[in-house]
Structure 1
Amino acid sequence: MPSDQPPVPAYTATPGSILHPDQAFYDKVANAKRTLVQEFTLPIRSGKAFSVPAGHILRISTPQGPQVGDLNLWNLHNPRERFWASRTRQLHASHISTYDRLWSCLPYLRPMATIIHDSLAGYGVDKWGGRCHDLLGTRCDPYVNHMLSGDSYDFHCHSNLVRAVQPYGLTEFDVHDVLNVFQVTGLDDQGRYFMEACPAQEGDAIEFFAEGDLLGALSTCPGGDLSVWGWGEGGDGEEGEGKTMLDVCRPLKVEVFKIDDVEVFKNWKQPESPAYKGAHGMRVPLGEKQA
């Protein structure tokens, strides 16, 4: 018989769990005196890669108002270890905020970054069920666009990220599912993915603490703040007073900070991968208890 009780989340953090980070520590990091070591403003419809040393803070902000960004992360020294959006979604939620962590793929499976500040944390759930900082969807790309519309366009987020990582020796095959920062999305009553206009205002920001040496890449989405959508089936690129997607595109700002007070890190160490030593059942290739 079906239960009248709502289902329990598959992964529930308990006290001391790696899923439940030391909030007091991350609050200290967020409030510690810091020194700017790198900054740039990313123009509309473009992408750029950058490094973030372990123990530093990555800040992404909206200097001119609402704009969605697509973020990829890799281990700076081993790009096979990269951000795993779907596992992060399972371990935390479909949309993430302060104290949630960005996890890496197998076989590494460890926090790559932890969110220490989110000026949009109070957005919550809107009347449509939308939430901010999306892990449900992924980057826009020219292949889906061409499949649905027949058009070819070279500055989708996927393409922006491909160009961004090329100077680091990475290729299109290294670009992966993203964290859509400042993006509000949800699922309707039929389970269909929807997007809403970005709620960020001038100066809104999200900050990440780098748990290891990271290579990041960010794209300023060509959909801008997503108040107009014009690719794929059902999109015409115009809304309201004749606005196009280009009209609602704005830059994003990226800053990297070093923490000045080393005492903050007194009890911190870089996360380690799970100590699984098995061989995936290779000695019993037909499956469990088949030997």
Structure 2
Amino acid sequence: MLLRPGTSGSPVAVVNARFGVAGSSWTASTTTAVQALQSGAGIPVSGVLDVATWRALLGAVTPPPTSPLGVVDAESAAYRSLSVRGWAFDPESTGPIQVRVTVDGVVTTVTANQSRPDVGAAFPGAGSAHGFGLTVAAVPGTHAVCVTAVNVGAGSDTSLGCQDVVVAASPMGHLDAITATAYGVTLSGWVTDPDTMAAASVRILVDGIVRGSASATGSRPDVALAYPGAPVGTGYAAAVDTGPGPHLVCVVGVNVGAGSDVTLGCTQVRVTGRQVSAVATLGSSRAR
């Protein structure tokens, strides 16, 4: 269970980051930094990151050498949810261990049994099935997330750290398309606000002036697939008179509760006053 020259992956990236070395591959700078750490910590200087050196690197306070090792690779937020992923194993076992994820005091236990070839390569004696991942529902706002690797046998549980994760409260959506008509434009897209399960709405601005609004009540299966838990109706469509000439048309998602209004898209159109002159498709019409 050693990290040494020639190894790479997530564990090495963590080591490099602690030493201010870029990348996820072991370099000469990594070896030099490890040797300096070992010398300062009274550990035999080998230039190889063994369990004792790993614990010194993480700043652990003389824990038993049989306690779990692990790293939280990422804690992130999405629509009304947050996710945690990483890896953990116990030196006393090649089997998977349990990991406790605590969100605002509520504990969820997951098994660290997902494939992590990088961990297996870095710690050959441990095996590769030590990854974990969890996604939990979370209302908009700031949430305290802590992760603990549960000990097996001798030793004690290992804290993998705590971090605040912010779940967005502002609307999200997209202006999919605008079509110039004889005297104005028609437009469509989708919008939803994480603060409410009611239909969100948009304001339509023409040259900076509000000229219309629309409620998002249309069915958008692609949005429901991309954002589980979103309302059934997230699609909007509207027609707005602009008068002839060039115009900048913007669509703004109207905020509900915490957060703020969000511009979903803007585009320049030319209305001739006589016939359709342009169709603007703004990126993918599917949720993204």
State the TM-score bracket (shorter-chain normalisation). under 0.3
TM-score (norm 1): 0.22
Q: What TM-score do the two structures reach when normalised by structure 2? A: 0.22
Which has the larger strand fraction?
Answer: 2
Structure exhibiting the larger radius of gyration computed from Cα positions: 2
Higher RCO (C-alpha 8 Å, min separation 6): 1
